[in-house]
Amino acid sequence: GNSVTQMEGPVTLSEEAFLTINCTYTATGYPSLFWYVQYPGEGLQLLLKATKADDKGSNKGFEATYRKETTSFHLEKGSVQVSDSAVYFCALSGFAGASKIIFGSGTRLSIRP
Amino acid sequence: DGGITQSPKYLFRKEGQNVTLSCEQNLNHDAMYWYRQDPGQGLRLIYYSQIVNDFQKGDIAEGYSVSREKKESFPLTVTSAQKNPTAFYLCASSKPPPGQSTRGEQFFGPGTRLTVL
């Protein structure tokens, strides 16, 4: 079936460190891929997206590339800040025959000053 | 400003009572969704609606009910049949392109935290 698997957390890094959060997917058809971010006590916000293979989504210094050959959409940032501390969700939509989004289980990121 | 509003932000309920959570959007989106989030967990889909007067069960619909009488509104009722209703509830909306399944992103409200006393 269709699914999203993302790196388990929590992930703790020092400020200015390099970040990678892994995400792989299984889907029929040609899904769109997303990263959402959730700050404490709030709803989810779209961070970035990619709608076809080899697309790169980017926003606020975060990047992710849609890799169809490895069915992956890893989130990266070159230099994290304390304000990046949040929960990050990988998600996919638009797979064949469906009209909803499937979310990964989320990865909690904590950045130390 | 366009967006999704959920009210109230915090809600307390006694066991055995039904309670209704509000979700309103002014984005002119066709599709709306309700999710449940438990501490440290991901999102689980409760119900979704793609058009007015139509809705489908998600993965955990038991103990919940919804209505979609207006495009802008998608209230969720947590009934007394829901055995463990304490959770964070998120509403979302999207506007699928004509003829396609949901390829666009979903926009989320700020959430309602429900606590059963």
pLDDT for res B102:
55
A106 vs B contacts (CB less than 8 Å)? 41-42
A23: which strand partners?
A6
Residue of A93, A102, A110 best to disrupt the B interface, most CBs of B under 10 A? A93
| DSSP 8-state assignment for residue B73 | B
Distance from CA of B11 to the nearest CA of A (A): 14
Measured distance CA(B108)–CA(A103) in Å, rounded: 13
The verdict on A57 touching B (C-beta cutoff 8 Å) is no
pLDDT category, B96, cuts 50, 70, 90? low
Alpha-carbon gap, residue A40 to A53, rounded angstroms: 32
CB pair distance less than 8 Å for B102 and A51: no
**A41 at interface of B, judged by CB pairs closer than 8 A:** yes
Is residue B33 less than 8 Å (CB to CB) from chain A?
yes
What is the spatial distance between Cα B107 and Cα B93, in angstroms, rounded to a whole number?
A: 5
β-partners of residue A91 are A34, A103
Chain B residue closest in CA terms to A94? B103
Contact A93 B33 (CB under 8 A): no
Give the mean model confidence (pLDDT) for residues B13-34.
93
B72-89 average pLDDT score: 94
CA-to-CA dists, residue A76 to A14, A61, B75, angstroms:
15, 8, 37
The mean pLDDT of chain B is: 90
Residue range B6-23: mean pLDDT, rounded: 93
pLDDT tens-place string over residues A4-50: 999 888 999 999 999 999 999 998 878 899 999 999 889 999 999 99
Q: Are strands B76-78 and B64-66 parallel, antiparallel or unpaired?
A: antiparallel
Secondary structure, 3-state, B33-71: EEEEECCCCCEEEEEEEEECCEEEECCCCCCEEECCCEC
Contact A67, A73 (CB under 8 A): yes
pLDDT for A95 equals 59
From B22, B16, B35, B37, select the one nearest B94 (Cα to Cα). B35
Q: Is B33 close to A100, i.e. CB distance below 8 A?
A: yes
User: For B68-79, how does the pLDDT look when each residue is reduced to its tens digit (9 = 90+)?
Assistant: 999 999 999 999
The more confidently predicted of residues A105 and A30 is A105
pLDDT number for residue A31: 87
What is the pLDDT at residue A61? Answer: 97
pLDDT for res A28: 80
pLDDT confidence tier of residue A68, bands split at 50, 70 and 90 = very high
Can you give the pLDDT at residue A29? 77
For the beta carbon of residue B70, count every other beta carbon within 10 angstroms: 11
> Of A96-100, B19-23, B35-39, which range is least confident?
A96-100
